[in-house]
Amino acid sequence: AEQAALLAYRRAVIAAPDSDGAHAARRGIVDLAAASGQSANTSRVALVEAEQDPEDVLAWARELAATDTAEDARAAFDLARALGAPLDERDVQFLDCHPPRWMASDEAYASPLDDATRRALIDDDRDGALGDLLDLLGEVMPLVCPDARRALVDADLLDAVRIPATSGGAATAIYPQIAKALGGPQTLLYTVARPAVPDLAVLLAAPPVIVLGPRLASTRAKSHADPATELAGDTALRFQLGRMVELARPRRLFAAGTDEDSFACLVAGLRHAFGPAPGDQVDARVDREIANEGERLRGALPVQLRRRITERLAAASASELDPVAYIAACRRAADRAGLVACGDVAVALELAGGPDAARHLVQLASTQRYLAARRSMRVRHVEDSTQPFTR
């Protein structure tokens, strides 16, 4: 009977791998394996990726501890704990035996992500046509964006000063390493001494401008000679700077580097100049702003680029051009980049508002793709691997 049930479950998974029936079948495979003392790791992994149930995540972490690398197991235990799964004494013992290896501030990642892997990890399902259109604008950023000085003036940051590469600050050391690992664009780093300035901000400029507040700008770089507790403090900074690297990309920068009203006007201006006009339910003042923005873009863009934008707009639905939804997509993508950069899901979830608010991070952290990227980006040492850890 068990063999017949197992065969039926496997057929259900093969027939429609992403269906509700397939998820139920995978759980059945896992339950059968547990009852017979066998492993059903493949089905467990699929369940974790599909549902992120805390008990499944904890069971997955224990399987990794017994059969795989310590780094993967630690990442899974961190996710389970962040989701509220109770770790037992053996789990804590495993974590104590395999402490995390912290990176020095200026330490390079072992291997940068290729573009396809980065996009698969970080890009959002809601990027759609608007992401493509902003990528097109990004090809001619100096024609449609202010320069750095003008952007700082517009943001009321006249007192901002450029941060030299030799400043000795942690952010100055870490940011270029993350940008290299994630294939980020060239950016300019500035700081402002005023206490009221936020820790981090990105400004729409060509090239993009990242502004550090006084707290982050004064945080010193750390080396492996420093205590582990101090090196661990860089993890949150890596999450924040990873977000900035993603938000500095053209497809994010136009949304993240200005206020929401300005971005909405840009999107409406694109539609006014090169595609369907905005709806009639707007007042005359907004109409004039949109028309002016459309004319600015039409006058600035080369003819060939105008044609490509027109073609992309023609194929886009109205829902794909929703600026509010797109800003939310950019924030989710930035969070994912932060998680990839810091490699610590507990820290990432805490900074992003918790598992319920940042479900996109829970989903990413539960995937094999994320674990593979995490391994490839970090220097591997002999102590990173472990003999099977039996419970």
Q: What is the pLDDT of residue 236?
A: 94
Q: What are phi and psi of 112, to 5 degrees?
A: -70, 155
**Residue 311's pLDDT band (cuts 50, 70, 90):** very high
Q: Whole-angstrom Cα distance, residue 352 to residue 331?
A: 10
**Residues β-bridged to residue 212:** 191, 200
- DSSP letters spanning 234-293: HHHHHHHHHHHHHHTSHHHHHHHSS-HHHHHHHHHHHHHHHSSPPPS-S-HHHHHHHHHH
Q: Whole-angstrom Cα distance, residue 37 to residue 33?
A: 6
Angle between helix axes 54-67 and 89-97 (nearest 10 degrees) is: 50
**Residue 115's pLDDT band (cuts 50, 70, 90):** very high
- Rounded to the nearest angstrom, the gap between the alpha carbon of residue 20 and the centroid of all alpha carbons in its chain is 27
Q: Whole-angstrom Cα distance, residue 57 to residue 47?
A: 9
Q: What is the pLDDT of residue 36?
A: 45
DSSP state of 114: P
Q: What is the pLDDT of residue 359?
A: 95
Cα 14 to Cα 7, 8, 10, 18, 20, distances in angstroms: 11, 10, 6, 9, 13
Structure tokens belonging to residue 267? 């999107």
Residue ranges covered by each domain of the chain: 101-343
Q: Whole-angstrom Cα distance, residue 200 to residue 187?
A: 14
Q: What is the pLDDT of residue 68?
A: 62
> Is 47 a residue whose pLDDT tops 90?
no
CB neighbours of residue 306 within 10 Å: 16
Query: Would you say 163 and 224 are in contact if contact means Cβ atoms under 8 Å apart?
Result: no
Nearest to 384, CA basis, from 92, 71, 76: 71
Q: Which range has the worst mean pLDDT, 81-85, 100-104, 296-300?
A: 100-104
- Type of residue numbered 388: P
- Please, which residues have CB within 8 angstroms of residue 339's CB and are 6 or more apart in sequence? 239, 242, 345, 348, 361, 364, 365, 370
Q: Which range has the worst mean pLDDT, 215-224, 277-286, 318-327, 365-374?
A: 277-286
Q: What global pTM score does this model have? A: 0.86
CB neighbours of residue 168 within 10 Å: 11
Cα 55 to Cα 35, 224, 337, 346, distances in angstroms: 16, 36, 26, 17
- Rounded to the nearest angstrom, the gap between the alpha carbon of residue 132 and the centroid of all alpha carbons in its chain is 18
List of long-range contacts for 378-383, beta carbons under 8 Å, 24+ apart: 378/71, 378/101, 378/103, 378/109, 378/110, 378/343, 379/101, 379/107, 379/110, 380/110, 381/101, 383/70, 383/98, 383/101
Q: b vs e for 119-146, b when ≥16 Cβ sit within 10 Å of the residue's Cβ? A: eebbbbebbbbbbbbbebbbeebeebbb
Angle between helix axes 20-36 and 2-15 (nearest 10 degrees) is: 150
- Type of residue numbered 373: A
Q: Whole-angstrom Cα distance, residue 238 to residue 178?
A: 8
**Residues β-bridged to residue 200:** 212
Nearest to 61, CA basis, from 340, 371, 291, 376: 371
For 337-379, the pLDDT digits (tens) are 999 999 999 999 999 999 999 999 999 999 999 999 999 998 6
Please name the residue that has the structure tokens 């002016």: 292
Query: Would you say 57 and 48 are in contact if contact means Cβ atoms under 8 Å apart?
Result: yes
